[in-house]
């Protein structure tokens, strides 16, 4: 393994599993209890806004009950100690990467701890419940506030910036994602297409995209990621 200067780490729900945050497609996952069409699409919000607000209120309330674990702290350490750039591109909407010490983070599917006004489009840090009665702190409208989350059928955030990061990186690591949801699931193929970067999958089990990765490490992120970070930082000293 060479020493890397430009690392992109894509994360999914599996990196937060050991913190006690439900994943989506594992047994007992969120999509076993709720249909995507009922809680995570613009149509669902138009049809039954209170049900969707409730789905996110429950998950937002869970944020104060969970803590970052070794995998989040390992990525915070990598960003701090590597001589080079480390960008975390996360599909997760929790704030565990921030609380694990990462600062260079792109939340491509939005953030649970934020709401957005559909009238004035302002985005607010938000940790309490949000309902149709909650009025916008800026323009006073209600109903107006929605979760600042990218639903199915909506364009993920910062795709241009992500695409250039994928093109420039010399190491792409995917952690805790099943590789089911696009465009994130297509990132490894994009990295492979320009052929420069090494690619590593760290996941409990082989993902849908496993065949695209040059290297795979299957097991718990809380164990495998600190080991990988130690290796990457040791390489730096050579």
Residues interacting with ligand BV8, by CB under 6 A?
Answer: 12-14, 17-18, 23-26, 29, 40, 91-93, 109, 149-156, 176-178, 180-182, 203-205, 207, 220-221
User: Closest CB to ligand BV8 among 4 and 24?
Assistant: 24
User: Closest CB to ligand BV8 among 182 and 238?
Assistant: 182
Task: Quote the tokens at residue 70.
Answer: 């070794």
* Residue 134 DSSP label: P
User: Closest CB to ligand BV8 among 84 and 174?
Assistant: 174
Q: How far is the CB of 26 from ligand BV8 (least distance, A)?
A: 5
User: Closest CB to ligand BV8 among 34 and 85?
Assistant: 34
Nearest to ligand BV8 by Cβ — which residue?
Answer: 14
Q: How far is the CB of 5 from ligand BV8 (least distance, A)?
A: 26
What is each CA distance from 215 to 19, 37, 171, 186, in whole angstroms?
25, 35, 11, 17
Q: Could you give the CA distance from residue 49 to residue 120 in angstroms, rounded to a whole number?
A: 19
> Does 109 qualify as catalytic in the annotation?
yes
Q: Could you give the CA distance from residue 170 to residue 237 in angstroms, rounded to a whole number?
A: 18
Q: How far is the CB of 169 from ligand BV8 (least distance, A)?
A: 20
Residue by residue, DSSP assigns 162-229 as HHHHHHH-SEEEEES--S-STTGGGHHHHHHHT--SEEEEEESS--TTGGG-SEEEES-HHHHHHHHH
Q: Which one is catalytic: 69, 97, 109, 148?
A: 109
Q: How far is the CB of 45 from ligand BV8 (least distance, A)?
A: 11
**E strand or H helix at 90:** strand 85-90
Active site residues: 109
């Amino acid at each position: 393994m060479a020493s890397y200067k430009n690392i992109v780490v894509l994360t999914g729900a599996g990196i937060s599993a050991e913190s006690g945050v439900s994943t989506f497609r594992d047994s007992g996952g969120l999509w076993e209890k709720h249909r995507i069409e009922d809680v995570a699409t613009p149509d669902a919000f138009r049809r039954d806004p209170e049900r969707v607000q409730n789905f996110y209120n429950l998950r937002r309330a869970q944020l104060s009950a969970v803590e970052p674990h070794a995998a989040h702290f390992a990525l915070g350490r990598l960003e701090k100690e590597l001589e080079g750039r480390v960008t975390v591109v996360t599909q997760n909407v929790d704030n565990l990467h921030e609380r694990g010490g990462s600062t260079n983070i792109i939340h491509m599917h939005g953030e649970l701890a934020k709401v957005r006004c559909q009238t004035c489009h302002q985005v607010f840090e938000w940790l309490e419940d949000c309902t149709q009665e909650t009025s916008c702190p800026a323009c006073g409208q209600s109903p107006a506030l929605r979760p600042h989350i990218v639903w199915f059928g909506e364009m993920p955030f910062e795709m241009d910036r992500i695409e250039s990061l994928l093109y420039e990186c010399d190491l792409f690591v995917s952690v805790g994602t099943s590789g089911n949801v696009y465009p994130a699931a297509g990132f490894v193929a994009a990295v492979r297409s320009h052929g420069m970067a090494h690619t590593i999958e760290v996941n409990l089990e082989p993902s849908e995209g496993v065949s695209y990765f040059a290297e795979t490490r299957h097991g718990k992120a809380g164990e495998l990621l600190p080991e990988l970070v130690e290796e990457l930082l040791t390489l730096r000293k050579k």
